[in-house]
Amino acid sequence: QSVLTQPPSASGTPGQRVTISCSGSRSNIGINSVNWYQQLPGTAPKLFIYHNNQRPSGVPDRFSGSKSGTSASLAISGLQSEDEADYHCLTWDDSLHGYVFGTGTRVTVL
């Protein structure tokens, strides 16, 4: 049902770099900016990246976002145990006239 595709899981050891992809189409990521949300277990999502690559205050600078064509990515460098969470991408879809979320990616710190 989700319009945006993410890998179901990603993992790394402490200190490693992990990258999560979000694949869409011309009607969504191709023409609109992407936001990323972190969701810790049992809690509501929290805005982590907005407008493709901007970090809200309080989000560590080891989190970065990028967009190219119809795909976007979230990178976590220097992975830490507290980064274990689900990450969701979000953008607007001009064809559907609505918001579309990614399928979500669970990040595990080994």
Partner 1 sequence: EVKLVESGGGLVKPGGSLRLSCAASGFTFNTAWMSWVRQAPGKGLEWVGRIKGKIDGGTADYPAPVRGRFTISRDDSKNTLYLQMNSLKTEDTAVYYCVRESDLIDSWGQGTLVTVSS
Binding site for partner 1 (CB under 8 A): 1-2, 33, 35, 37, 43-47, 50-51, 56, 88, 90, 96-104
**Which residues does residue 82 pair with via DSSP β-bridges, in sequence order?**
none
Inter-residue contact 1 to 102 (CB < 8 Å): no
Rounded Cα–Cα distance for residues 12 and 14 (Å): 7
Minimum CB distance to partner 1 smaller for 34 or for 79: 34
Minimum CB distance to partner 1 smaller for 13 or for 58: 58
Name the minimum Å distance from CB 54 to partner 1.
10
